[in-house]
Amino acid sequence: MLIDASMTHRVAIVGAGPSGFYAADGLLRTRPDLRIDLIDRLPTPFGLVRAGVAPDHQGTKAVVRQFERLLTQPDVRFAGNVEIGRDLSWGELQAGYDAVIVATGMVIDRKLGVPGEDLPFVWGSWKFVAWLNGHPDFRQGPDLSAVRKVGVIGNGNVALDVARVLAKSPEEMGKSDIVPEAGEAIAAAPLTDICIIGRRGPEQASFTGNELAEMGRLSRAVAVADPAALAVEAPTGDPTPERLRKAKNLEILRGFSKNVPGSKPITVHFVFNRPITRIEPGEFDLVLTCIGYEGVELPKGEGIFPVGWAKRGPTGTIPTNRGDSHAVAQQVIAWLKDRDLKSGPDPLPLSVDADGWRRIDKAEVASGARIGRPRVKLTDWKVLLDTAEG
């Protein structure tokens, strides 16, 4: 629907990740007349779907097709390479828009709070995963050339993601969009052991079944677990879906406990009940901490609506954000109901629009096609911006 911009409310959504897109979707379902700006500090949309979700899980990344459709709507503008707080203040944004949705996510690696965690061979999972996924702020990965033993601290799916990407063979990563330099560094690393370490028992792990089971199907890595740690049951007090998930995890882990360590080039050890109290050189050549994330202080006030990870904290999968964002969209619509339209000039400094992103996308997909991959990501800020300009 083409509209006269001066005759309708303007909503800014800061952060073009899943929760930002779902918020735009929720708004347009009830108020198709709204004018929406989806603003992101990166020249590329999709937040953690592009930069967090593991590069070998292309099926999960396919959700972006629905987000792409929103970008084709004439009243939805993508404004990439615009960082709120740097290029435009939150106050300016509030002054220029009738409502502001904050969908900025939460990706500062949480600290373990133990001696040794600032040693150079200790990496937070976000820094590591952002490197694998070609985030332009994280172009330098760890030196893997002498890494034999890796400690992965944490018992969630991100721990499985990083362990799996390290353990998979180059052939198994062949259809992924891992950045080539990371893929080559992993393939050349002399890896022998990856220990996934949980501070609590296996009945408390937050792995999900499909992701855990995948660890048992890797061509160059065997998954093992100590049977003594598995003599437990899923907590009976948990709600049924949780109990079933945990029982399934235990069943899969008991399968792993029958495997023979060393029967493939890499052994992935599931280690439980091992709280980390310090990190010292010697035991591992690389430690990856996968213990969750923190965010920055966000603006508060009238007409500001947080959503997604920025609102709820770093929990929940991509689909979890949909219901939440749709509910917040309804709050925004209620807030806009009796409000006079704000007038004034367009506050947004436009840098990379949807066409600019499409030029990046096209270039990446074309480079990928030459080597049989979904895409080869552009990772350099200047190259990204030049490509967007065309």
- Beta carbon of residue 172, minimum distance to ligand FAD (angstroms, whole number): 17
- Beta carbon of residue 77, minimum distance to ligand FAD (angstroms, whole number): 14
Nearer to ligand FAD, 149 or 322 (CB): 322
Strands 108-109 and 293-294: antiparallel
Strands 221-225 and 266-271: parallel
Nearer to ligand FAD, 79 or 224 (CB): 79
Q: Return the sign of the alpha-carbon dihedral for residues 341, 70, 89, 299.
A: positive
Nearer to ligand FAD, 158 or 222 (CB): 158
39, containing H or E segment: strand 35-39
* Cα dihedral value 84, 311, 30, 353, nearest 10: 30
Nearer to ligand FAD, 15 or 229 (CB): 15
- Beta carbon of residue 134, minimum distance to ligand FAD (angstroms, whole number): 13
First vs last C-alpha separation in the chain = 28
Nearer to ligand FAD, 149 or 311 (CB): 311
Nearer to ligand FAD, 107 or 253 (CB): 107
Question: Within 10 A of 293 (CB to CB), how many other CB atoms are there?
Answer: 21
Nearer to ligand FAD, 36 or 229 (CB): 36
The residue among 184, 185, 109 whose CA lies nearest residue 154 is 109
- Beta carbon of residue 88, minimum distance to ligand FAD (angstroms, whole number): 9
Q: Where are the beta strands (DSSP E) in 230-343?
A: 266-271, 286-289, 293-294, 304-306
- Beta carbon of residue 167, minimum distance to ligand FAD (angstroms, whole number): 16
Amino acid, res. 157: N
- Beta carbon of residue 57, minimum distance to ligand FAD (angstroms, whole number): 5
- Beta carbon of residue 179, minimum distance to ligand FAD (angstroms, whole number): 15
- Beta carbon of residue 233, minimum distance to ligand FAD (angstroms, whole number): 28
Q: CA–CA separation, 84 vs 79, rounded Å?
A: 11
CA distances from 261 to 144, 207, 224, 368 (A): 22, 21, 6, 36
- Beta carbon of residue 120, minimum distance to ligand FAD (angstroms, whole number): 21
Nearer to ligand FAD, 232 or 298 (CB): 298
Q: CA–CA separation, 80 vs 140, rounded Å?
A: 23
Q: CA–CA separation, 234 vs 90, rounded Å?
A: 46
List residues near ligand FAD by CB under 6 A. 14-20, 39-42, 47-48, 52-53, 57, 60, 83-85, 103-105, 107, 129, 158, 161, 308-310, 316-318, 321
Q: Return the sign of the alpha-carbon dihedral for residues 363, 365, 371, 377.
A: positive
Q: CA–CA separation, 247 vs 265, rounded Å?
A: 29
- Beta carbon of residue 102, minimum distance to ligand FAD (angstroms, whole number): 9
Nearer to ligand FAD, 190 or 313 (CB): 313
> Are the C-beta atoms of 182 and 131 separated by less than 8 Å?
yes
The residue among 16, 20, 94 whose CA lies nearest residue 352 is 16
The residue among 108, 106, 138 whose CA lies nearest residue 289 is 108
